[in-house]
Structure 1
Amino acid sequence: MAIWIALLALVWLLTARPTPWSLLDFIDDAQVQVIFNEAQSYFTEWYQANYGDEQLINKAGLPTQWSRPPSGWLKLNTDAALDSNNLKMGFGFVLRDSSGEFKAAVQVPYNSLCRPDEAEAMAVREALKWLKSQNILNFIQLECDCIKVINSVPTSSTITYFDLIMQDIRDIARDFCNLSFLFVKRSANMVAHLLAREALFKTDRVDCFSVPFPFVVDALEFDSR
């Protein structure tokens, strides 16, 4: 599958912008291979950020629907969406309590484009910053559907940009008490996914409290069943 996606990306790169000549006339085989490798690498990172080790996830028996946090805890779900055409990202997060009651939701547009795993990590970082701004610092479960982010929380490295974002997350997390990071399947993270996708169409951050955005009401009701 990755091969076909990479080939489609290659075709788009070569044909998306019309010119009076063929780009293939100016690209040798080595350059084509570089473009192909970059497209395949990007797809691999996107797949790992969204699905991780598929066999491990399936064997783990993870729930396919959102679950309530323990009594007295809050749960914050986060997600990121990417718009490669407009070089934008959107972050979304939603806060609910142990009875499943909606507490708040946030949409954050971001006028830049990062790799998928970096975007997912940035969404978690933005979510933690928002929690701090609301003085919500205790008994928090943070769920993310990027297994790489969750697995990287305990580790420490500053080699890549992703590592630097994760270090920011660890630094911010020190200000919390009883904060846990959990991996969740995409199907159990749909409200955050919808928020992130809609954030792509915003120009500024949008917060809502008590009453949810209309476009996530159905997903919230489904989760509360």
Structure 2
Amino acid sequence: MEMKLAVKTKPSRSTLNDELVWRPVGSGTYSVKSGYRLLRDERLLPPGVHSNDQSTDLTKFYTELWDISLPAKVKITMWRIAHNFLPTFANLQIRRLNVNNVCSLCQSTSETIDHLMRDCWFSRQLLGYQGVHLPIGSISISWKDWLASFFVNLHEKHKKVYMISLWSIWFTRNKVVHEGCEVSVRESMSFVEAFLQENEVVQVASCPPITVAHGQWQAPIGDIVKLNFDAAYNAHAKESTSGVICRNDNGFIMTSCVYPHMYVADAFVAEALSCLQAVIFAKELGFRRVVIEGDSQTVIKKKVCSSNADGSLISPIVQDIKEASKDFESVAYSFVRREANNAAHTLAREGRSLCSPTYWIEEAPPGATSAARLDKEGLGLQP
């Protein structure tokens, strides 16, 4: 029988004492609160489904929620809906308030968050008329996981409509409860359409006539060599590819490499491994004065450049980076935005098709070479 060892934490090359790391939180330190949350989330899942199966949709949901161009009041309400933080009648009953727990819109069943925002005839009609069709039948996962999965799989043009509609449903419910207004799907539809049009007008009006310049790669000074790193992560296979590109003060590609890694726990670990690979690569090439640059703020600013004790999952990798850094005459770590790290990002993506470490001298794969050429042109250097 074939067996595979699934390594969650990379062993350190340095001499370190073994430590217990609490995986569910970034600090690596256990707390009663984090333990309770882990147990609660596991209990809400159906048999045979692990909590990691839902993590990708949740991550995408939160990213898209805060990036979408809608007023903060709509996004905050959406976040409260996802976490069941609205004072529905069911939640008020849990807090032992004496209320009549019947949906104020359909008057048919208990006013829980999933009924009000998904199962109520009012919500289904309002969303259905706008092209957002809700599933029919029983749902076996928690409300938050269902909402995240449903939202990220919506067509882009429907995501704003969906968020405004849920906000409108809560607004209408409050009008019914507190002011005794009558329910009208048509009026709510008109409200959603008008709000959406007004938001589009405001967005266009607020756009500046001149495009704001994004971050740009900067060449090192003098005899210092700059190594940019990035990682391409495959969550399904638990594999990553590190891409490192080395350039001098003229933006010339001195060397580059891609390095595959197996049994990588998450994207956070993948970025840390890429940073370590950049340091090791610089040492093997004999460089004495280097700048290690990447677009992972957590790895660079909060871990490698921090003097605080680190108890996170990547602490062995961070320790290796710090130990290896002692061998240079001078070393600096720099965080930049993705736009300034595009050559390394492209290199890592191109390297995903390679199954073994691959190195290039005075060149890089076509995509990374083109990205490096654009960096040089942006600085006015000779191509």
How would you bin the TM-score normalised by the shorter chain?
A: 0.7 to 0.9
Residue 141 of structure 1 corresponds to: 291
**Paired residue for 1:93, among 244, 249, 254?**
244
Q: How far apart are 1:177 and its partner, in Å?
A: 1.5
Deviations 1:77-114 (A, max 9, x none): 00011012333101000000011111011011112222
Residue 174 of structure 1 corresponds to: 326
| 1:35 maps to 2:51 | yes
Q: Going by fraction, where is strand more abundant, 1 or 2?
A: 1
Q: Distance in 1 between matches of 2:355 and 2:258?
A: 10
Structure 1 residues 114 and 101: CA distance shift in structure 2, 3 A:
same
Q: Distance in 1 between matches of 2:231 and 2:58?
A: 16
Residue 221 of structure 2 corresponds to: 70
Deviations 1:130-183 (A, max 9, x none): 1111111x2211101000111112324352321221111101111112100000
| Letter in structure 2 aligned against 1:100 | G
Structure 1 residues 133 and 42: CA distance shift in structure 2, 3 A:
farther
Q: Distance in 2 between matches of 1:199 and 1:97?
A: 22
- Pairwise mapping of residues 114-129 of structure 1 onto structure 2 (< 5 A)? 114-129=265-280
Structure 1 stretch 166-175 or stretch 104-113: which is displaced more? 104-113
Of the two structures, which has the highest relative contact order with CA contacts closer than 8 Å and spacing of 6 or more? 1
Q: How far apart are 1:129 and its partner, in Å?
A: 1.1
Q: Percent of pairs identical after alignment?
A: 23
**1:90–1:198 contact (8 Å) kept in structure 2:** no
**2:276–2:321 contact (8 Å) kept in structure 1:** yes
- Pairwise mapping of residues 43-54 of structure 1 onto structure 2 (< 5 A)? 43=59
Larger radius of gyration: 2
| Letter in structure 2 aligned against 1:209 | I
Residue 258 of structure 2 corresponds to: 107
Q: How far apart are 1:209 and its partner, in Å?
A: 0.7
Deviations 1:5-54 (A, max 9, x none): xxxxxxxxxxxxxxxxxxxxxxx96225972896179839x97xxxxxxx
Runs of at least 4 residues of structure 1 off by over 6 A? Answer: none
| Letter in structure 2 aligned against 1:43 | T
Find the residue that maps to 2:45 and give its secondary structure.
Answer: helix
**1:62–1:184 contact (8 Å) kept in structure 2:** no
| Letter in structure 2 aligned against 1:141 | V
Q: Distance in 1 between matches of 2:270 and 2:292?
A: 16
Structure 1 residues 166 and 62: CA distance shift in structure 2, 3 A:
farther
Residue 191 of structure 1 corresponds to: 343
Find the residue that maps to 1:161 and give its secondary structure.
Answer: coil
Q: Distance in 2 between matches of 1:123 and 1:132?
A: 14
Q: How far apart are 1:127 and its partner, in Å?
A: 1.3
Find the residue that maps to 1:191 and give its secondary structure.
Answer: helix
Q: How far apart are 1:70 and its partner, in Å?
A: 1.1
CA RMSD of aligned residues (A): 2.9
| Letter in structure 2 aligned against 1:175 | D
Structure 1 residues 40 and 89: CA distance shift in structure 2, 3 A:
closer
Residue 367 of structure 2 corresponds to: 215
**1:79–1:91 contact (8 Å) kept in structure 2:** yes
Q: Distance in 2 between matches of 1:35 and 1:190?
A: 33
Deviations 1:171-216 (A, max 9, x none): 1111112100000101110111111112221110110011332222
**1:143–1:182 contact (8 Å) kept in structure 2:** yes
| Letter in structure 1 aligned against 2:339 | S
Q: Distance in 2 between matches of 1:125 and 1:217?
A: 23
Q: Distance in 1 between matches of 2:310 and 2:345?
A: 28
Residue 314 of structure 2 corresponds to: 162
Q: Distance in 2 between matches of 1:72 and 1:62?
A: 28
**1:141–1:181 contact (8 Å) kept in structure 2:** yes
